Chains A and B, each alone.
Chain A
Amino acid sequence: MKTLIKNGHLVDPKNKIDEPMDLLLENGKVAKVGKKLAEKTDREIDAQGKIVCPGLIDMHVHFRQPGYEYKETIETGMRAAVKGGFTGVCPMANTNPVADSRSDMEFMTGEARRLKLIHVWPVGAVTLKHEGKELTEFGELKKGGAIALSDDGRPITDSNIMRRALEYAKKFDLPILVHCQDEGLFCGGCMNEGFVSTKLGLLGIPSESESVEVARDIQLADLTGGRLHFCHISSRRSLEIIRAAKQGGSRVTVETCPHYFHLTDEAVLHYNTYAKMNPPLRTQADVEAVKRALADGTIDVIATDHAPHSENEKNAEFDQAPFGIIGLETSLSLTLRLVEEKILTMTELVRKMSTAPAEILKTGRGHLAEGAPADVTVFDPSLAWTVEKDKIESKSKNTPFMGWKMKGRATDVFCEGRQVLKAGEILKDES
Chain B
Amino acid sequence: MNAPAGETHWTRKDLLSIEELSREEIELLLQTAESFKEVSAREVKKVPALRGKTIANLFFEPSTRTRTSFEVAAKRLSADIINFSSSGSSTSKGESLSDTAKNIEAMNVDTIVMRHSSSGAAEYLARQVKAGVVNAGDGIHEHPTQGLLDIFTMKERKKKIEGLRVCLVGDILHSRVARSNIWGLKKLGAKVTVCGPPTLIPSSIERLGVEVSYDLDRVIGEQDVLNILRIQLERQKGAFFPSIREYAAEYGISNERIKKARPDVIVMHPGPINRGVELSSEVADGPQSVILDQVTNGVAVRMAVLFHTTMAER
Contacts and interface: CB of A to CB of B under 8 A. Distances in A.
B212 to A, nearest CB: 12
A96 interface: no
A103 B54 CA distance: 59
Contacts of A203: 140
A318 B119 CA distance: 7
A315 B118 contact: no
B179 A201 contact: yes
Contacts of B96: 312, 315-316
A337 B97 CA distance: 39
Given A271-B119, A319-B139, A198 B204 contact: yes
Interface in B55-103: 89-91, 96-98
A172 interface: no
B176 interface: yes
Contacts of B140: 201-203
Interface stretch (B120-128, B241-249, B275-283, B303-311): B120-128
B273 interface: no
A198 to B, nearest CB: 4
A204 B203 contact: yes
Contact of B124 (A187, A195, A201, A317): A317
A305 B74 CA distance: 50
Contacts of A197: 202-203
B13 to A, nearest CB: 17
Contacts, number: 71
A270 interface: yes
B123 A270 contact: yes
Nearest to A192: B203
Most buried by A among B19, B141, B176: B141
B141 A201 contact: yes
Most buried by B among A187, A317, A319: A317
B205 A198 contact: yes
A200 interface: yes
A193 interface: yes
Nearest to A184: B239
A198 B89 contact: no
Interface in A201-233: 201-204
Interface in B244-290: none
Interface string A252-281: 000000000000000000110000000000
B40 to A, nearest CB: 31
B142 interface: yes
A38 B90 CA distance: 67
A201 B139 contact: yes
B203 A202 contact: no
Contact of B120 (A187, A198, A200, A315): A200
A317 B204 contact: no
A318 B139 CA distance: 11
A193 B203 contact: yes
Contacts of B120: 200-202, 270-271, 317-319
Interface size class of A (residues with CB under 8 A): 20 to 34
Nearest to A202: B119
Nearest to A195: B204
B203 A318 contact: no
Contacts of B116: 317
A312 B91 CA distance: 11
B119 A320 contact: no
B199 to A, nearest CB: 12
Nearest to B19: A199
A202 B119 CA distance: 6
B118 A320 contact: yes
A198 B204 CA distance: 7
A110 interface: no
B42 interface: no
A384 B99 CA distance: 39
A424 interface: no
B202 A198 contact: yes
B218 interface: no
B282 to A, nearest CB: 33
Contacts of A319: 118-120, 139
B110 to A, nearest CB: 23
Contacts of B89: 317, 320
A139 interface: no
A28 interface: no
Contacts of B119: 200-202, 271, 318-319
Given A315-B98, A317-B89, A271 B124 contact: yes
Nearest to B141: A201
A194 interface: yes
Interface string A171-200: 000000000000000010000011101111
Contacts of A201: 119-120, 138-142, 176, 179
B203 A194 contact: yes
A200 B141 contact: yes
A212 B71 CA distance: 50
A272 to B, nearest CB: 9
Most buried by A among B116, B138, B139: B139
Contact of A316 (B97, B138, B142, B205): B97
A312 B97 CA distance: 11
Contacts of B97: 316-317
A194 B176 contact: no
B155 to A, nearest CB: 25
Contacts of A194: 203-204
B207 interface: yes
A200 B97 CA distance: 19
Contacts of A199: 19, 179, 208
A270 B125 CA distance: 12
A298 B28 CA distance: 56
Nearest to A315: B98
Contacts of B207: 195, 198
A267 B208 CA distance: 19
Contacts of A204: 202-203
Nearest to A268: B120
B230 to A, nearest CB: 16
Interface of B: 19, 89-91, 96-98, 116, 118-121, 123-124, 138-142, 176, 179, 202-205, 207-208, 238
Given A201-B119, A201-B140, 9 more contacts: A195-B207, A197-B203, A198-B202, A198-B204, A202-B140, A316-B91, A317-B118, A319-B120, A320-B91
10 contacts: A193-B203, A199-B208, A201-B140, A203-B140, A316-B91, A316-B124, A317-B116, A318-B118, A318-B124, A319-B139
The 7 closest A-B pairs by CB, nearest first: A201-B141, A271-B120, A317-B118, A195-B204, A201-B119, A198-B202, A201-B140
